[in-house]
Amino acid sequence: MALTGFFLLWNGINERFDTGDVSTKQSGSGTVRSGRSPVDMVFTEEPPGTVSESDSLSLKEALIHEKLILGYRSVDSTEMTARYGELLLETLADAGWEDEDVALVRMYLDDDRAGFLPYVLEKNSTHSETEELYAHQLTSISVNKCMEFRRDAGADIADVAGRYEVPLEVVISILKVETDFGINKGKDPIFNIFGSLSVADHPEVLKEALGEEGEASEEQKRRLLKRARWARSQLHELVGLVSDGAGEWILWVNGSWAGAFGLPQFIPSSYRPYGRDGDNDDIINLDNIKDATASIAYYLKSNGWKRNISRSRMKKVILRYNHSTPYAECVLALADSIKHRVGRMKDEG
Ligand SMILES: [Ca+2]
């Protein structure tokens, strides 16, 4: 089927976890921070880690810490919100966009759902990947959730993952770490995420975010400039997807602060090349568990995953999925843990 056909058929449900006939339990997403390195957590016996129902406070502390490190000034959202559409169109024209693409963005900005999101600038210019951010993924609670998911949905997605020779525990680990099996897929339309970030290097926004000369760090300025360029390329891809037949709904799919959407948390530039139809209904729905599994596994295979892959190569491939060493180490450690539990279950008969 032509690519356009997939787009037209994909109905774009993004608020629910479409499991088809798969029943999946979803429990709360309390986080646990053990302070241990994922590297230390290759499980031999019982998965280590402090078992606690909630440590959301520590996650909040980590985010405050990020802000303190970089001394971020909040963008004046009232003024910027009022000027957002104008700033975005000006920025895109300055960046060399074709008039017709700018006109499309102008049209989408008229939608009631369009709007400026100051936190996106803040998050994208202050976030740093640390092992601590992933520690809660490597606890008994987390592994228990993975085992529940495997029990409920494993049989349905094992053959899909197998098509690409990617072990089931690796797919389950990615589904857990990315969105907690669909619980944390993001809360704002990706058109607004990429649009807001696209204006981050507009002189007026930069001045607002960085303050007077020398007030904020060079590092933060560097990040804002880099992320703004990146966001415009993703926005361009997104507009292109609509133009190629995806339907305008894709603009309003909710995504994370980094613009990642669906269970695999793909960005627009990954959707077209790596999105796959896992349940053979001719619809690529990244909120459908089989399609998500196929898309994750196909992404990994396309980036070098194969049978009998070495450990170091595994890590390199996961890093292609998400360029974060703590992420890659966490995904592999969690997959080890799931595999270990499955092995123990089999031993116990
Ligand atoms: Ca499908």
Closest alpha carbon to 266 in 279, 253, 282: 253
Distance 274 CA to ligand 1 centre (A): 13
Contacts of 151 (CB under 8 A, 6+ apart): none
* pLDDT at residue 337 is higher than 80: yes
- CB neighbours (10 Å) of residue 179? 23
CA of 291 to the centre of ligand 1 (A): 5
Q: What is the pTM of this model?
A: 0.79
What length does the chain have? 349
Local confidence band at 70 (pLDDT 50, 70, 90 cut-offs): very low
CA of residue 294 to ligand 1 center, whole Å: 9
CA of 342 to the centre of ligand 1 (A): 28
Rounded to the nearest angstrom, the distance between the alpha carbon of 39 and the centre of ligand 1 is 36
- Distance of CA 297 from the midpoint of ligand 1 (Å): 14
Name which of 275, 243, 273 is nearest 262 in CA terms: 275
- 59: pLDDT strictly greater than 60: no
278 CA from centroid of ligand 1 (Å): 5
pLDDT of residue 244: 92
Could you report the per-residue pLDDT of 92-121, keeping only the tens digit for each?
Answer: 999 999 999 999 999 999 999 999 998 899
Expressed in angstroms and rounded, the spacing between residue 102 Cα and the centre of ligand 1 is 32
The residue that leads in pLDDT, 217 or 52, is 217
CA of 1 to the centre of ligand 1 (A): 12
**Is residue 268 within 8 Å of 146, Cβ to Cβ?**
no
Per-residue pLDDT for 223 more than 70?
yes
246 CA distance to ligand 1 centroid (A)? 15
pLDDT band at 34 (very low <50, low <70, confident <90, very high): very low
Lowest mean pLDDT: which of 148-162, 213-227, 253-267?
A: 213-227
* Centroid of ligand 1 to alpha carbon of 331 (angstroms): 25
Higher pLDDT, 272 or 75: 272
